[in-house]
Amino acid sequence: MRPGDRGPGGVTPAKVTDFTTLSGLLDLAHDAIVVRTIEGTVLYCNRGAERLYGWSCEEATGQTAHQLLKTKFPVPEDEIRAALIRDGQWEGVLTHVTRSGQSVTVESRWALQRGSGEGAPVLEINRDITARLAAEHSSRTGERKLRFITDSAPIMLAHCDRDGRFRFVNRPYAARFGAEPHELIGRHIQEVIGETAYRTIEPFVLRALAGERVEVEREVHYDALGRHFMRFGYEPEMDDSGQVLGFVAAIQNVSDRRRAEEAERLNRERFEFVVNSTEIGLWYCDVPFDVLVWNAKCKEHFGLPPDAAVTIETFYDRIHPDDRERAREASDAAMARRRPYDVDFRTRQDDGRFKWIRAFGRVLFDGADRPIHFDGATVDITNIKEAEAQLLERDRRKDEFLATLAHELRNPLAPMRFALHLIGSGDQAPDTVARAHAVLERQFRQLVKLVDDLLDVSRITRGRLSIEKRPVPLAEVLTAALEATPFGTNSAQQELSISLPQEPVYVAADPIRLAQVFLNLLNNAAKYTPAGGHVELSARVSDGAVAVSITDDGIGIAPSMLPRIFDMFMQVDLAADQTHGGLGIGLTLVRQLVELHGGRIEAHSDGVGRGSRFVVTLPVAGASAQAAADPSGSVPRSAGKRVLIADDNTDAAEVLEIWLSTRGHEVRTVADGEAALSLAESMRPDVLLLDIGMPKVNGYDVARRIRLQPWGKPMTLVALTGWGQEEDRRRSREAGFDHHLTKPVEPSAVDALVASAGS
Ligand code: ADP
């Protein structure tokens, strides 16, 4: 029905004017306005109703509204109608179906126009709330989804306003503080997490509220939860104008990860500490060799500073050119054929020298059998290599030595055999016999020296060489040595000059062993100095030590040989006409003996052909020792002693008797221990030279029994034996012997002992 049309109930034109005005007004409303009878017959509807339901006013008028719109009521229609009549109004939510079949939900308000009497019309205003409901529904669904997602995220999420109050927290966040999410809403952060924790994070909260995105990891002390490493991410929330409204916080407890990292770091540091405090270098490579990681020790092994950058080129560059191929092959074999990598090579150092390095490692392969990593270690084996080389050299020298030894042992035998033959044939001229005797004497000495040296060497190598020291005048020792050298005979081929200090010098020494030192050096000087040359023996005291020099102007020593001249089996390779026999052990012995005396020895030479000098430096014995010894410092005169020799080898006894008699001593010999005892008692000798292995009473027992006698105490008892080991010396000492000489005895040694007896 349009204004101007005839209205139901006889509406007058005047009313129409009103109604026209009213109707215009009603058309302005958005809501659907319907005027109907209480039964539902439509009397009027505005444009809003036409728009909402799709029916024009004309079409709708006269129809029953609830049928036309297939209205669904929240309660039975009768009840509504009863309420309307009772209260004059009703309101509720209804569902209508529009002309096009769409369902719309409306908020409906009804009013009964009572004043109109019977058949009073009902005014109905319907507001379409379909869109709002849908929006509300979708917003509720969205929120549920959001909560579902955030609650199941393994991270604490919170949304705070600009005052630091929670507007949203997910369940993990609330659970951390023992609460339900809704319990935290509206509360301040500090109130929830505690004051201590808040102090730690406040600066970051403030930065977020200043509009900054913040990511930070801190150890936080929660009053209720203890210390934890937390990771915070703050995202400021801004409106369109850039005003900060609050922030979203994403928070994770990273304590486990930090603890693992910390443990890992500690382990790595420990590992590195241990490795770095050893001599082991470490290297890691990715294959192909793009990245090489070497620790400082490994770099050191390659002569590089700790901060040096390393490439595969560096590696090969530092390796000795002769070893590069071997290193490359080892690496190829490890990668291509899965061979264990273990190779040694020399590496160049900055000073131009080379180190021997052993490198070992392994290759790691991926699932497709491709090499991906090549890791390992390096060790400096320079010392081992040098020791190996030394061992080889020693071995070589020992072989040479054995060959020389065989040669040296055989050498004297031929002339000795001849000499014996000459003497034995009986009808030789005295001169020939004397010469043959001299030959025998020389060769014999040579043999004895060889055997003695050999025994000494074996003692040295077994660490069994020991000496018994007592204060002795140096001059005595030197004289004893000189007497046994060619210089002490007419056959000397070099001129010897001697220069010793005026005052007597005493050294703490085993006189026989020390004499052996100078004997060796003097013999060498004679051996290695051509006939007509000069040898000088001199001694000088300074700073409590005496330096004895033996200088010659002979063949000299090449500088390269000097440092090794004292090594065992060392012999300088000489031209054939310069060789002099010998085993190359003399100087080794000499050095050992000098060191046993607390001294040292040095060899000097300006080179081949320029002579040599050997200097033995020994500590001078103290004043009391000097006082106790012979103040004259001269060699005791070898005369006037009474000597008793007991030896069942009558030849040996006889030779000794002749020798000592010629030296001006009174000598008697016996062939067994019993005879020795009885003669000793009647003769009261100054010196007894006793063989050990004798019939009837052995040498030890003779010595013991003599020592028991009052007259036997001052006698000098000398053991003569084939056994010279330390054990044998100890036994003879225990039996009461003063000295122990090994057979064949050196006449000069016997001479020295007899001469010094009783002094
Ligand atoms: P040997 O003399 O038995 O060969 P040594 O140990 O006494 O053994 O000496 C070792 C080497 O030292 C000798 O072979 C010799 O080449 C050298 N030598 C020793 N003394 C001298 C010296 N006075 N002059 C030159 N060379 C010497």
Decide whether any atom of ligand 1 lies within 6 Å of the 521 Cβ: no
User: Would the CA dihedral through 596, 597, 599, 602 be positive or negative?
Assistant: negative
Which residue(s) pair with 534 in the sheet?
Answer: 495
Predicted confidence at residue 413, as pLDDT, reads 80
The encoded tokens of residue 72 equal 């669904």
Q: Are 167 and 185 in contact (CB under 8 A)?
A: yes
Q: How far apart are the first and last CA of the chain?
A: 169
496-544 pLDDT, tens per residue? 888 888 788 899 998 888 998 999 999 999 999 999 999 999 999 998 8
Q: Stretch 416-444: mean pLDDT, rounded? A: 79
Question: pLDDT by residue (tens digit) across 634-690?
Answer: 334 445 789 999 988 776 777 777 777 767 788 899 989 999 999 999 889 999 999
Asked if residue 554 has its Cβ within 6 Å of ligand 1, the reply is yes
Does the structure show a pLDDT above 70 at 2? no
Q: Write the pLDDT tens digit of every residue in 132-191.
A: 999 999 989 988 898 899 999 889 999 999 999 999 999 999 999 999 999 999 999 999
Q: Indicate if the pLDDT at residue 627 is higher than 50.
A: no
| Ligand 1 pocket: which of 560, 565, 605 to mutate (most atoms within 8 A of CB) | 565
Residue 525 Cβ < 6 Å to ligand 1: yes
pLDDT of the residue at 10: 45
Closest of 128, 112, 124 to residue 35, by C-alpha: 124
- Indicate whether 5 pLDDT > 80: no
pLDDT exceeds 80 at position 368:
yes
- pLDDT band, residue 350 (cuts 50/70/90): confident
Greatest mean pLDDT among 8-22, 110-124, 173-187:
173-187
Report the mean per-residue pLDDT for the chain. 85
Ligand 1 mutation target, pool 587, 591, 610, most atoms within 8 A of CB: 587
pLDDT at 628: 40
pTM above 0.85, yes or no: no
Q: 524 - beta bridge partners?
A: none
611 lines ligand 1 (CB under 6 A): no
Q: Which residue has the tokens 């013991």?
A: 704
Residue 555 CA: nearest ligand 1 atom is 25
pLDDT above 70 as % of the chain: 91
Report the DSSP pairing between strands 354-365 and 371-380. antiparallel
- In this structure, are residues 124 and 109 in contact, taking their beta carbons and an 8 Å threshold? yes
Rounded Cα distance, 690 and 668, in Å: 12
Q: What is the pLDDT of residue 575?
A: 47
Most confident of 38-42, 295-299, 548-552, 744-748: 548-552
Identify the pLDDT of residue 635. 37
Highest mean pLDDT among 406-420, 647-661, 700-714: 700-714
Backbone torsions φ then ψ of 671, nearest 5 degrees: -115, 0
Is 603 near ligand 1, meaning CB less than 6 Å away?
Answer: no
- State whether the beta carbon of 571 lies less than 6 angstroms from ligand 1: yes
Residue 582: what pLDDT? 63
| pLDDT at site 490 | 66
Q: Is 582 in the pocket of ligand 1 (CB under 6 A)?
A: yes
> Quick one: average pLDDT of 434-451?
81
**pLDDT attached to residue 117:** 58
Instruction: Report yes or no: 192 and 219 within 8 Å, Cβ to Cβ.
Output: no
Q: Which percentage of the chain shows pLDDT scores above 90?
A: 48
Query: pLDDT per residue over 553-603, tens digit each?
Result: 999 999 988 888 887 666 655 544 445 556 677 888 899 889 889 999 999
- The values of phi and psi at residue 119, to 5°, are 65, 30
Angstrom distances, CA of residue 211 to CA of 208, 241, 444, 552, 604: 5, 12, 111, 98, 88
Q: Quick check: 718 and 751 in contact, CB under 8 A?
A: no
192 and 184 Cβ atoms separated by less than 8 Å:
yes
Mean pLDDT to the nearest integer, 717-743: 86
Please return the burial class of 364, using the count of CB atoms within 10 Å of its CB with bins 0-12, 13-18 and 19+.
Answer: exposed
Range of weakest confidence among 196-210, 318-332, 416-430: 416-430
Distance of CA 464 to the CA centre of its chain: 38
> What pLDDT score was predicted for residue 485?
82
Label residue 696 by pLDDT band (50, 70, 90): confident
Over the stretch 307-332, which tens digit does the pLDDT of each residue have? 999 998 999 999 999 999 999 999 99
| DSSP 8-state secondary structure symbol assigned to residue 455 | H
pLDDT of 420 > 90? The answer is no
Please tell me the predicted confidence (pLDDT) of residue 457.
74
Atom of ligand 1 nearest to the CA of 614: 23
Rg of the chain over Cα atoms, rounded to whole angstroms, equals 62
What is the whole-number distance in angstroms between the Cα of residue 584 and the centre of ligand 1? Answer: 7
